């Protein structure tokens, strides 16, 4: 029963994603593409190159191109740096995996340091007067000396 519900949910969510691929909006593509001049997304850029790319996107949408086709044509023209998000294939996987690996390594290092720090502490409570206890032999000698003056 659970698998059936998950399958229905996946099908319900697949419809809007497919519609976005077939009939993308200019705003959607402009947030996923980068201006080659100022290196910000097209929706925040107002450079002449960004304006030309926006006009091109609208023309390609009007011509019936899909989102993937428009992106592919812009990548052919400007290179893969025009994509705001690197593709999840080939060498570009490092752009996705490297931050996760860095977080994992950082968590292990912090955990190891915390463990080492907690093991290095003395578990005995400190004396009430804040002084360290004396060596038993030294304490015996001190008591003997003090007893001579009483």
What distances in angstroms separate CA 139 from CA 91, 128, 145, one per listed residue?
71, 18, 10
pTM over 0.85: no
**What are the residue ranges spanned by the domains of the chain?**
11-85, 87-117
Calculated CA dihedral for residues 116, 120, 123, 124, nearest 10 degrees? -170
User: Which two structure tokens, joined as six digits, stand for 101?
Assistant: 């690996």
User: Which two structure tokens, joined as six digits, stand for 58?
Assistant: 């609208």
User: Which two structure tokens, joined as six digits, stand for 17?
Assistant: 């994603």
Supply the angle between the helices 48-62 and 67-78 in degrees, to the nearest 10. 140
For 11-85, give the CATH class.
Answer: mainly alpha
The per-residue pLDDT for 18 is 47
End-to-end CA distance of the chain: 90
Backbone angles phi, psi at 83, to 5 degrees: -85, 130
Whose tokens are 């080492």? That residue is 116
For the stretch 61-117, pLDDT in tens is 999 999 999 999 999 998 888 988 877 777 767 777 888 899 999 999 999 999 888
* Helix (H) / strand (E) containing 150: none
The per-residue pLDDT for 67 is 92
For the stretch 16-67, pLDDT in tens is 444 467 788 999 999 999 998 898 998 998 999 999 999 999 999 999 999 9
Backbone angles phi, psi at 41, to 5 degrees: -65, 155
């Amino acid at each position: 029963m659970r698998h059936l519900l998950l399958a229905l949910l996946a099908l319900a969510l697949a419809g809007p994603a497919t519609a976005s691929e077939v009939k993308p909006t200019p705003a959607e593509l402009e947030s996923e593409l980068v201006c080659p001049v100022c290196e910000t997304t097209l929706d925040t850029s107002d450079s002449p190159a960004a304006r030309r790319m926006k006009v091109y996107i609208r023309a390609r949408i009007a011509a019936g191109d899909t989102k993937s086709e428009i992106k592919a044509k812009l990548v052919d023209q400007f290179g893969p740096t025009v994509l705001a998000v690197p593709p999840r294939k080939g060498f570009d996987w490092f752009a996705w995996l490297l931050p996760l690996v860095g977080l994992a390594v950082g968590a292990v290092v912090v955990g190891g340091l915390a463990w080492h720090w907690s093991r290095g502490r003395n578990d005995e409570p400190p004396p009430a007067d804040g002084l360290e206890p004396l060596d038993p032999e030294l304490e015996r000698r001190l008591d003997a000396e003090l007893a001579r003056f009483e």
